[in-house]
């Protein structure tokens, strides 16, 4: 706790030193919280237990952390996870880092809040395959959980879908990025990152136009784009947000992912088809994997004509977005 | 219907459209400007795109549903308020863009 306070004191004082145009790159200290689910330590602790507890899956083998592990950049490091989600192709499991700041969840943005998001994977047969009614009956028999739910959500009716979702979402809201070398640079410590990385940052904001989409402290403005990973008619490949509603602007469009800690979460893109940051940068700066004939390709996706040296500079900048792992005690004992 | 009634109805319709107001919403710097407006049924909203890239204002609110579609820079699109239900407009590309429309 003392650690936390001194850290935020450091952040607050540093905020004062960051120049106006650099402030947008620093994570706001307070994560947005819904009125009916403000963060409390009871809620976060309960959510953490649920997040890591494999008893939430029918096989008792999978927890949220199986696919979003803190040891693997909050992902599973697999190209695509087995999580299919009704009618959608297999997708890369995204990091949950800073997910609390997003106003759309999933690659296709099909839900808004972490509360709405949390119950999906538990019931999905390809994920945890656990009908919620059964799960709630199961948790109700674990005295330890009954007690913790009543403490975290007094007079909200004990263990329900709603309190379950609220608790998991509360823990997720505490999974946030730490101070990376780039943040120290943004706060005014000009030596915190190499000259090469500074040059990369300038390209990122300027010539390479990465900032058109990867903007603000989370290096994502939450926007949806078809970046031309697949060719014209997508040939049965993922249609992205178009699957949620057939709006022309959503054809083959996916959410711009955060680039915080991006070094920890390879492989990349919604289909996990890219292994390195060099390749990802090269695709994003050359007008997409398919230059021509892509239906609804974003107008931001143009060939920026970068040299290999320039791509290397951008990659060395992306590496400065890696912060130390957040302090976290992964539970080893679960309520009985 | 007799002629007089038809005339009356037609002139009523005209006077209604004279009273209807147009409200201009600019899309600039990935924001709707202004971000909150009060309108009446029959009013129109003109969506202007001052950014150098496309926007796509829409709402899925049942009674006032509309979709401007991909709107290129410097284009304008007009929509009409059909029902007295307030709603929020979002951009399909930039979901951080929000416009609150209060219908009186
Ligand atoms: Cu927009």
Domain boundaries, chain A: 9-19+29-173, 181-319
Least Cα separation, residue A204 to chain B (angstroms): 18
User: A103 vs B53: CB contact, 8 Å cut-off?
Assistant: no
Q: Which of B32, B81, B40 is nearest to B56 (CA)?
A: B32
User: B53 vs A248: CB contact, 8 Å cut-off?
Assistant: no
Q: Taking a C-beta distance cutoff of 8 angstroms, is the pair B64, B82 a contact?
A: yes
pLDDT along chain A (336 residues), means of 10: 44 61 93 96 98 92 91 86 55 94 93 90 75 92 97 95 96 98 96 98 97 96 92 74 90 96 95 95 94 87 95 98 96 95
Which CATH number fits the domain that encloses residue B83?
Answer: 2.60.40.420
Say if B1 falls within a structural domain.
Answer: no
What is the mean predicted confidence (pLDDT) over B28-37?
96
Least Cα separation, residue A255 to chain B (angstroms): 9
In whole angstroms, give the CA distance from residue A271 to residue A239. Answer: 12
Predicted-complex ipTM score: 0.76
Q: Taking a C-beta distance cutoff of 8 angstroms, is the pair B30, B2 a contact?
A: no
Residues of B in Cβ contact (< 8 Å) with A217 = none
Joined tokens for residue B56 = 């796509």
| B94 alpha carbon – ligand 1 mean position (Å) | 4
pLDDT higher for A147 or B18?
A147
For B56-96, the pLDDT digits (tens) are: 999 988 899 999 999 999 999 999 999 999 999 999 999 89
Q: Which of A215, A186, A180, A211 is nearest to A198 (CA)?
A: A186
In whole angstroms, give the CA distance from residue A296 to residue A53. Answer: 42
User: Domain A181-319 - what CATH class?
Assistant: mainly alpha
Say if B36 falls within a structural domain.
Answer: yes
Helix (H, G, I), strand (E, B) or coil at A235: helix
* pTM summary value: 0.90
User: B95 vs A222: CB contact, 8 Å cut-off?
Assistant: yes
A74: left (phi over 0), alpha (psi -120 to 50) or beta: left
Residues of B in Cβ contact (< 8 Å) with A223 = 93-96
Domain that holds residue B72: 20-103
User: Which candidate from A222, A247, A300 shows the least CB-CB separation from B92?
Assistant: A247
Say if B14 falls within a structural domain.
Answer: no
Task: Tell me if domain A9-19+29-173 and domain A181-319 are identical in fold.
Answer: yes
Q: Which of A282, A281, A301 is nearest to A291 (CA)?
A: A301
Distant-in-sequence contacts of A144-149, Cβ < 8 A, 24+ apart? A144/A334, A144/A335, A144/A336, A145/A46, A145/A49, A145/A335, A147/A335, A148/A42, A148/A45, A148/A46, A148/A49, A148/A335, A149/A46
Say if B28 falls within a structural domain.
Answer: yes
Q: Which of A163, A160, A144 is nearest to A333 (CA)?
A: A144
Q: How many domains does chain B have?
A: 1
Q: Taking a C-beta distance cutoff of 8 angstroms, is the pair A85, A67 a contact?
A: no
Residues of B in Cβ contact (< 8 Å) with A221 = 30, 94, 96
Least Cα separation, residue A279 to chain B (angstroms): 25
Q: Which of A144, A126, A141 is nearest to A59 (CA)?
A: A126
CA distances from B94 to A104, A221, A257 (A): 11, 7, 13
Joined tokens for residue A200 = 């990369």
Least Cα separation, residue B85 to chain A (angstroms): 22
User: Which candidate from B54, B69, B95 shows the least CB-CB separation from A299?
Assistant: B54
Is A127 one of the catalytic residues? yes
- The reply to whether CATH 1.10.760.10 applies to domain A9-19+29-173 is yes
In whole angstroms, give the CA distance from residue A171 to residue A51. Answer: 8
Q: Taking a C-beta distance cutoff of 8 angstroms, is the pair A81, A96 a contact?
A: no
With residues binned 3-state (H G I as helix, E B as strand, rest as coil), the percentages for chain B, rounded to 5, are 20, 40, 40
Q: Taking a C-beta distance cutoff of 8 angstroms, is the pair B45, B79 a contact?
A: yes
pLDDT higher for A151 or B14?
A151
Helix (H, G, I), strand (E, B) or coil at A236: helix
Q: What pLDDT is stored for residue A16 in this prediction?
A: 54
Q: What pLDDT is stored for residue A14 in this prediction?
A: 56
A216: left (phi over 0), alpha (psi -120 to 50) or beta: left
**Residue-wise over A240-266: b if at least 16 C-beta within 10 A, else e?**
bbbbeeebebbbbbbbbbbbbbbbbbb
Q: Which of A64, A94, A99, A61 is nearest to A79 (CA)?
A: A94
Q: What pLDDT is stored for residue B19 in this prediction?
A: 80
Cα-Cα-Cα-Cα torsion A248, A249, A253, A254, nearest 10 degrees, comes to -130
Q: What pLDDT is stored for residue A9 in this prediction?
A: 46
Q: Peptide bond preceding A267: is omega within 30 degrees of 0, i.e. cis?
A: yes
Q: Which residues pair with B32 in a beta bridge?
A: B27
Joined tokens for residue A124 = 């999905």
When scoring A113, A246, A247, A251 by the number of chain B Cβ atoms within 10 A, the one with the most, hence best to mutate, is A247
- From A127, A172, A238, A322, active-site residue: A127
In whole angstroms, give the CA distance from residue A295 to residue A233. Answer: 7
Say if B76 falls within a structural domain.
Answer: yes
Q: How far apart are the first and last CA of chain B?
A: 32
Residues of B in Cβ contact (< 8 Å) with A247 = 56, 58, 67, 92
What DSSP assignment string belongs to A135-149? Answer: HHHHHHT-HHHHHHH
What DSSP assignment string belongs to A181-209? Answer: HHHHHHTT-TTSS-HHHHHHHHHHHTTT-
């Amino acid at each position: 706790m003392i650690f936390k306070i001194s850290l935020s004191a450091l952040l607050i004082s540093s905020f004062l030193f960051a120049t106006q145009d650099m402030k947008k790159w620093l994570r706001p200290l307070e994560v947005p919280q819904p009125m009916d689910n403000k963060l409390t330590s009871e809620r976060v602790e309960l959510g953490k237990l649920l997040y890591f507890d494999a008893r939430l899956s029918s096989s008792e083998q999978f927890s949220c952390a199986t696919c979003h592990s803190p040891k693997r950049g909050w992902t599973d490091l697999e190209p695509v996870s087995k999580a299919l989600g009704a009618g959608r192709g297999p997708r890369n499991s995204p990091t949950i880092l800073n997910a609390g700041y997003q106003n759309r969840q999933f690659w296709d943005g099909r839900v808004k809040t972490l509360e709405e998001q949390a119950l999906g994977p538990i019931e999905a047969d390809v994920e945890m395959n656990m009908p919620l009614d059964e799960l709630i009956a199961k948790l109700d028999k674990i005295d330890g959980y009954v007690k913790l739910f009543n403490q975290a959500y007094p007079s909200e009716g004990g263990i329900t879908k709603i309190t379950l979702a609220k608790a998991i979402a509360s823990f997720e809201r505490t999974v946030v990025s730490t101070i990376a070398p780039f943040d120290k640079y943004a706060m005014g410590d000009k030596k915190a990152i190499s000259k090469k990385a500074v040059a990369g940052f300038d390209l990122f904001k300027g010539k390479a136009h990465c900032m058109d989409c990867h903007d603000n402290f989370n290096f994502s403005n939450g926007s949806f784009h078809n970046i031309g990973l697949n060719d014209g008619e997508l040939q049965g490949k993922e249609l992205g947000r178009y699957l949620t509603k057939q709006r022309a602007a959503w054809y083959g469009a996916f959410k711009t992912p955060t680039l915080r800690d991006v070094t920890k979460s390879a492989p990349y893109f919604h289909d996990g088809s890219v292994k390195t940051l060099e390749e990802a940068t090269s695709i994003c700066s050359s007008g997409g994997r398919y230059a021509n004939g892509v239906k609804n390709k974003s107008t931001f996706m143009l060939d920026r004509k970068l040299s290999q040296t320039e791509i290397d500079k951008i990659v060395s900048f992306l590496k400065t977005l890696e912060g130390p792992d957040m302090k976290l005690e992964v539970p080893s004992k679960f309520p009985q | 219907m007799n002629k007089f009634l038809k005339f009356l109805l037609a002139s009523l319709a005209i006077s209604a459209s004279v009273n209807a107001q147009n409200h201009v919403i600019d899309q600039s710097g990935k924001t709707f400007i202004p971000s909150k407006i009060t309108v009446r049924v029959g009013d129109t909203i003109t969506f202007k795109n001052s950014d150098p890239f496309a926007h796509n204002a829409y709402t899925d609110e049942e009674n006032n549903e509309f979709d401007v579609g991909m709107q290129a820079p410097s284009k304008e699109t007009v929509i009409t308020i059909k029902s007295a239900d307030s709603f929020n407009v979002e951009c399909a590309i930039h979901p951080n863009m929000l416009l609150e429309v209060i219908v009186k």
